[in-house]
Amino acid sequence: MRLTVIGTGYLGAVHAACMAEIGHDVLGVDVDAAKIADLSAGRPPFYEPGFEDLLARSLASGRLRFTTDLREAAAHGEVHFICVGTPQQAGSQAADLRYVDAVVDGLAPHLSAPCLVVGKSTVPVGTTVRLTSRIARLAPPGVRAEVAWNPEFLREGFAVDDTLRPDRIVTGVTSTEADETLRRVYAPMLAADTPYIRTDPNTAELVKVAANSFLATKISFINAMAEVCDAAEADVVTLADALGHDTRIGRQFLNAGLGFGGGCLPKDIRAFAARAQELGAGPAVAFLDQVDEINQRQRSRTVLLARRMLGGDLTDARVTVLGATFKPNSDDVRDSPALAVAAELHRQGAQVRVHDPEGAAKASLAHPELWCGEDLLTACQGAELVLHLTEWSHYREVDPDKLARVVRTPRLIDGRNALPHDEWRAAGWTVKALGRPA
Ligand code: UGA
């Protein structure tokens, strides 16, 4: 099938390459000419395990091309996937839909044959209905373009695998033709037992924000328990393990620590609360404000713990932060909890060095005031406190004996509860973590 994928960020670029991989003829589209040049040359604009090889294969197959021209896209696609960002609006909690709207506005006038426009971006409920009338207004007379929503559930760091082997497909469609078209798109990659949920567009849009809200709530729940554990001198990791054995609860997303960040969970729960408010259902999701608040509090609790460990004053203290990205196996630093803590430590007077195996360049751009680098020993040289804030596997492989010889004082905050504390203590480190007894 001839597909276009409009918006080639993390979601779109991976979707486009995966669709080519399963045999479709794909045109990726973006307004950013530099990004299109990189992708066309096989250079991924971001770090994502497995993506570079996939991109190279798809380009070599001749089934994947890129352009900045929406006119070309309109001529190419039987199905147009919208994968542009829906960031938080400046000065508001709501989602900014200007990029989604711009795709529709740019595409519709050039359509010359019936097609299906499929949104994959995370949007406020009601967007499909709104875009349906927008497209009908802008498309040439007699050209029918149907809109459907098909949310994406991929995780950064596992994007390729999550796209090619999804744990479910959800489509919100209003006609049998649209349903059949989407089933044909996905047929080559679906296992016989992959759940395929066809529903209406409103429900499909809601599934996505409900899923991310649930995940965010689970993380904030365990971080709230960590706060109680700190007050009661109990251990949140053992608590999470014990809870997780209940299959109704499950152990995943109960890792207590610095909390969630990234380009999705924080802005999605805010946009959901704002949209619910507009619909008159604000009280139903008022708890999401608390989820957000608990999450933000883990950042300030971490800064406070650092202050306490350094005797109450951060002025000129030499501090090293391990990890800059919002999660491991990604170079994405959007709303990174680790960088937020690093920036606050710097603001309070500390001399901060940030290490990250893949995200140092993007971290430097976002926070020019911070030293960011990829050499661990240089980053830790002379440190009076090391904070482990993004759980890259590299850090679990560090020899705490060797690192103790490089730092000035072997003091560690494990902000992700992911390092072997006993080994670090045996090597002479003072180790502290949120929700763990001293
Ligand atoms: C999230 C969802 O997991 C995806 O299903 C969804 O498709 C995606 O958002 C999206 O909307 O595009 P992602 O943002 O890649 O995916 O990352 P997660 O793995 O969900 O992690 C989010 C944050 O939560 C990270 O900062 C991570 O460190 C933190 N986290 C995760 C915890 O603090 N504790 C946990 O137990 C799990």
Q: Is the pLDDT of residue 438 over 90?
A: no
For the domain bounded by 2-198, which CATH number is listed? 3.40.50.720
The amino acid occupying position 29 is V
What residues contact 50, with CB distance under 8 A and at least 6 apart?
160, 161
Residue 264 is a catalytic residue: yes
Nearest CA to ligand 1 atom 16: 155
Q: Could you read off the pLDDT of 107-119 as tens digits, one per residue?
A: 999 999 999 999 9
Nearest CA to ligand 1 atom 19: 155
Mean pLDDT (the chain) is 97
**At 253, phi and psi to the nearest 5?**
65, 25
Integer Cα distance of 414 and 362 in angstroms? 23
Integer Cα distance of 111 and 207 in angstroms? 30
Nearest to 219 by CA among 263, 262, 154, 265: 265
Ligand 1 touching residue 254 (CB < 6 A): yes
Q: Could you read off the pLDDT of 388-413 as tens digits, one per residue?
A: 999 999 999 999 999 999 999 999 99
**Dihedral sign from CA coordinates of 178, 181, 186, 190:** positive
Q: Is 321 left (phi over 0), alpha (psi -120 to 50) or beta?
A: beta
Ligand 1 touching residue 269 (CB < 6 A): no
Ligand 1 touching residue 5 (CB < 6 A): no
- Partner residues linked to 145 by β-bridges: 115
Q: Could you read off the pLDDT of 92-143 as tens digits, one per residue?
A: 999 999 999 999 999 999 999 999 999 999 999 999 999 999 999 999 999 9
Q: Which residue is catalytic, options 115, 264, 372, 380?
A: 264
- 200-438: same fold as 2-198? yes
Integer Cα distance of 257 and 224 in angstroms? 10
* 44 neighbors 13 (Cβ within 8 angstroms): yes
Helix (H) or strand (E) holding 356: none
Q: Could you read off the pLDDT of 229-271 as tens digits, one per residue?
A: 999 999 999 999 999 999 999 999 999 999 999 999 999 999 9
Ligand 1 touching residue 260 (CB < 6 A): yes
From 48, 167, 219, give the residue whose CB has the most ligand 1 atoms within 8 Å, as the site to mutate.
Answer: 219
The total number of residues written for the chain in this structure? 438
Q: ipTM of the assembly?
A: 0.97
| CATH 3.40.50.720 is the classification of domain 200-438 | yes
139 alpha carbon to ligand 1 midpoint, in Å? Answer: 37
Q: Domain locations in the chain?
A: 2-198, 200-438
Ligand 1 touching residue 156 (CB < 6 A): yes
200 alpha carbon to ligand 1 midpoint, in Å? Answer: 26
Q: Which DSSP category does 255 fall into? A: -
Integer Cα distance of 131 and 100 in angstroms? 9
